[in-house]
Amino acid sequence: MKKILYLLILISILSSSALAQTNVFNTTSGTVYTDMAYLRATFVNQDPSPADPGAYVNLLFKIENRGTKSAENATLELIPEYPFSLDPGVSAVTNLGTINGLQSGENAFLVKYKLKVDENAVNGDNEIKLKYYAGDGSVYKIATYNVSVSNPRTDFDVIAQDSTTLAIANIGANTAYSVVVKIPKQENFVVSGASASIIGNLDAGDYTLTTFEISSTDTANVSSMRGMPTETTNTSMNRERNLTVEISYTDLLGIRRTVQKEVSFGFASGSATSISTIQANQSSTSIIGNSGLTYIAIGIVGIVVVVAFLKIRKRKKK
């Protein structure tokens, strides 16, 4: 029992001696460690905040030496984990060299990392880790920080109500600000009048209607189709085409974005029917003309036959 008591006293004395050699002081600027180097890494901020999936985010860290001794070969190493990644060829290790004793506050080192955010990143806080050490790296610390991610974008659905009216629906989770709908120049369609329409703000789940004077380039080439077979003309005029619609809006971060949508856009068959009618009339005229020539030929043959018959009859009478 006495041996155990002596052992506990000895451990207590040794612990007190160790603590006496490393004094820790709390000051107005933070904790100070004497007779040693003590690195501390702080996550300053992220830009943008929150980060945008599919884009880049800048992370800023502050590295201080809260000890009274210099920290030799101070090194940082970012440990990217999904949904964050460094561009190929960019090193995750940053060597700061020597950080003097009590080099902190405004004199601290600032280190920035630029990370790509995966386009499928989940909204909310996502962890990033930073490893830092001094010397040969045999003793190090790993700190974990949260990086906020939020998708500020939204999505749209576009439906052609008729040949002039488009329904624009915000099917995403965020409000779209200053929405403008535009019909860009394209091969199969022509817009008469204004090609853009200002919608304003469109909340998530809401929709609105906008109108354009849109015509197909096929109707402008009617004359070139008159020599075509009726079936070919009807197919060319009646088929639906994809109309490209551009929607520009400002997202939650104030970033201006543009998305393109393909809309199945068809036209009434009136134009095609009129062309078919013209072709049918042309065909009828052709048939009538051919029939007339046939009847004339038959008549001439008949006259020749009658004349020949009369001549033969006269010879017999003689």
Q: Are residues 175 and 78 in the same domain?
A: no
Note whether 214 and 265 are within 8 A (CB): yes
Same domain, 122 and 145: yes
The one-digit pLDDT tens for each residue of the chain (318 residues) are 555 545 545 455 444 444 445 588 777 667 899 999 999 999 999 999 999 999 999 999 999 999 999 999 999 999 999 999 999 999 999 999 999 999 999 999 999 999 999 999 989 999 999 999 999 999 999 999 999 999 999 999 999 988 889 999 999 999 999 999 999 999 889 999 999 999 999 999 999 999 999 988 865 454 444 455 545 444 444 557 899 999 999 998 888 999 999 998 776 543 333 223 333 333 333 333 445 555 555 556 556 554 555 555 555 445
Residue 77 resides in a domain? yes
Q: Burial letters for 204-243: b for 16+ Cβ neighbours within 10 Å, e otherwise?
A: eeeeeebebebbbebeeeeeebeeeebeebbeebeeebeb
Does 160 lie in the same domain as 108?
no
Is residue 160 included in any domain, yes or no? Answer: yes
Of 91, 124, 149, the residue that ends a domain is 149
Q: Is 205 among the domain residues?
A: yes
133 and 251 in a single domain? The answer is no
> Looking at the domain assignment, is residue 282 inside a domain?
no
Query: In a 10 Å sphere around its CB, with 0-12 CB exposed, 13-18 middle and 19+ buried, how is residue 257 labelled?
Result: middle
Sign of the alpha-carbon dihedral angle for 307, 313, 316, 317 = negative
Q: Could you give the number of structural domains in the chain?
A: 2
Q: Tell which residue, 145, 153, 142, has the closest CA to residue 119.
A: 153
Provide the CATH number for the domain around residue 258: 2.60.40
Residues 231 and 120 in one domain: no
Query: How many Å apart are CA 160 and CA 46, to the nearest integer?
Result: 42
116: domain CATH number is: 2.60.40.10
Question: Is the residue at 33 inside a domain?
Answer: yes
Cβ count near 259 (within 10 Å) = 15
Task: Give the span between the Cα atoms of 151 and 154, in whole angstroms.
Answer: 8
Per DSSP, the three-state class of 160 is strand
Task: Confirm whether 25 is domain-assigned.
Answer: yes
Domain ranges, residue 240: 156-267
In this prediction, residue 280 carries a pLDDT of: 35
| C-alpha 28: how far from chain center | 49
94: number of Cβ within 10 Å: 17
pLDDT the model gives residue 298: 58
